[in-house]
Structure 1
Amino acid sequence: MTHDPEDRIVSPVVAGDEQAVEAALRPKRLAEFVGQERVREQLSLVLQSALRRNRPPDHILLSGPPGLGKTTLSMIIAAELGKPLRITSGPAIERAGDLAAVLSTLSEGEVLFLDEIHRMARPAEEMLYMAMEDFRVDVVVGKGPGATAIPLDIAPFTLVGATTRAGMLPGPLRDRFGFVAHMDFYEPAELEVIIDRSAGLLDVRIDAEAATEVAGRSRGTPRIANRLLRRVRDYAEVRADGRVTPELARAALELYEVDERGLDRLDRAVLGSLLRKFGGGPVGLSTLAVSVGEEPETVEVVAEPFLVRQGLLARTPRGRIATPAAWTHLGLTPPTPSPAAGTLFDVDE
Structure 2
Amino acid sequence: MANVEKTEFRLPEPQPKASPARSADVDARAQEGEADQEVSLRPRSLGEFIGQPKVRDQLDLVLTGAKKRGVTPDHVLLSGPPGLGKTTMAMIIAYELGTSLRMTSGPALERAGDLAAMLSNLMEGDVLFIDEIHRMARPAEEMLYMAMEDFRIDVIVGKGPGATSIPLELAPFTLVGATTRSGMLTGPLRDRFGFTAQMEFYGVDDLTKVVTRAASILGVPIDADAATEIASRSRGTPRIANRLLRRVRDFAEVHSDGHIDLAAARAALIVFDVDEMGLDRLDRAVLEALIKGHGGGPVGINTLAVAVGEEPSTVEEVCEPYLVRAGMITRTGRGRVATALAWRHIGLEPPEGVMGTLY
Equivalent residues, number: 322
* C-alpha separation in 2, matches of 1:237 and 1:63: 37
Counterpart of 1:233 in structure 2: which amino acid? R
Aligned counterparts of 2:38 and 2:145: Cα–Cα separation in 1: 32
Aligned to 1:139: 155
Amino acid at match of 2:101: L
Q: Kindly provide the CA deviation profile for residues 199-255 of structure 1, in whole angstroms up to 9, marking residues without a partner as x.
A: 011010110000010000000000000000000000000011100010110000000
1:286 aligned residue = 302
Comparing 156-165 with 296-305, which one deviates more in the overlay?
A: 296-305
Residue 169 of structure 1 aligns to which amino acid in structure 2? L
The residue number in structure 2 matching 1:178 is 194
AA aligned to 2:290 is L
Indicate yes or no: 2:252 matched with 1:236: yes
How far the C-alpha of 1:337 sits from its partner, in A, is 5.8
Of 263, 266, 278, 1:262 maps to 278
Give the deviation of 1:293 after TM superposition: 1.3
Determine helix, strand or coil for the equivalent of 1:125: helix
The amino acid of 2:219's aligned partner reads D
- Change in CA separation of 1:162 and 1:244 when aligned onto 2, cut-off 3 Å: same
Q: Partner residue of 1:251?
A: 267
Instruction: Tell me, in whole angstroms, the C-alpha distance in 2 between the residues paired with 1:68 and 1:96.
Output: 30
Aligned to 1:65: 81
Note if 1:334 corresponds to 2:327.
Answer: no
Q: Deviations over 1:71-107 (max 9, x none)?
A: 1111110111111111111111110001000000100
Q: Is the 8 A contact 1:116 1:162 kept in 2?
A: yes
Select which of 116, 119, 144 maps to 1:103.
Answer: 119
| More deviation, 231-240/274-283 | 274-283
Distance verdict in 2 for CA 1:20–1:170, change over 3 Å? farther
Q: Is the 8 A contact 1:47 1:57 kept in 2?
A: yes
The residue aligned with 1:92 is 108
SS state at 1:62 partner: strand
CA contact (8 A) 1:279 1:334 kept: no
| Off by >4 Å, runs of 4+ in structure 1 | 19-22
Matched to 1:226, the amino acid is N
Higher RCO (Cα < 8 Å, 6 or more apart): 1
Other-structure match for 1:48: 64
* TM-score of the aligned structures, taking structure 1 as reference length: 0.90
Contact 2:80 2:198 (C-alpha < 8 Å) held by counterparts: yes
Quote the offset at 1:124 in angstroms. Answer: 0.5
Using the alignment, how far apart are the partners of 2:317 and 2:38 within structure 1?
A: 24
Answer yes or no: is the 8 Å Cα contact 2:127–2:175 preserved in 1.
Answer: yes
Aligned-pair Cα RMSD in Å: 1.5
Match of 2:312 in 1: 296
Give the alignment partner of residue 324 of structure 2, picking from 301, 308, 325.
Answer: 308
- 1:320 equivalent in structure 2: 336
| Per-residue deviation, residues 37-96 of structure 1 (Å, max 9, x unmatched) | 000000000000000001000000000011100011111101111111111111111100
* Residue 45 of structure 2 corresponds to residue 29 of structure 1: yes
Match of 1:223 in 2: 239
Aligned match of 2:185: 169
2:224 equivalent in structure 1: 208
d(CA) in 1 for partners of 2:258 and 2:108? 42
Q: In structure 1, how many angstroms separate the alpha carbons of the residues matched to 2:344 and 2:257?
A: 36
Match of 1:15 in 2: none
Distance 2:119 2:190 in 1: 19
* Residue range with higher mean Cα deviation, 279-288 or 102-111: 279-288
What SS does the aligned partner of 2:134 have? helix
The percent of aligned pairs where both chains have the same amino acid is 68
What is the rounded CA distance, in whole Å, between the counterparts of 2:53 and 2:60 in structure 1?
Answer: 10
User: Given the alignment, which residue of 93, 103, 128 partners 2:144?
Assistant: 128
Residues 292 and 25 of structure 1, relative CA distance in 2, 3 Å threshold: same
- How much does 1:23 deviate? 3.2
* Deviation per residue, 1:257-304 (Å, 9 max, x gap): 000000000000000111111111111211111111111111111111
- Contact residue 90 and residue 118 of structure 1 kept, 8 A: yes
Q: Give the gaps of 5 or more residues in structure 2.
A: 1-34
Deviation at 1:330, TM superposition (A): 1.2
1:148 aligns with 2:164: yes
SS in 2 for 1:87: strand
Greater helix fraction, Structure 1 or Structure 2: 1
Shift of 1:21: 6.7
Q: Is the 8 A contact 1:279 1:335 kept in 2?
A: no
Using the alignment, how far apart are the partners of 1:86 and 1:175 within structure 2?
22
TM norm structure 2: 0.88
Letter in 1 for 2:267: A
Query: Structure 1 regions of 5+ residues with no counterpart?
Result: 1-18, 339-343
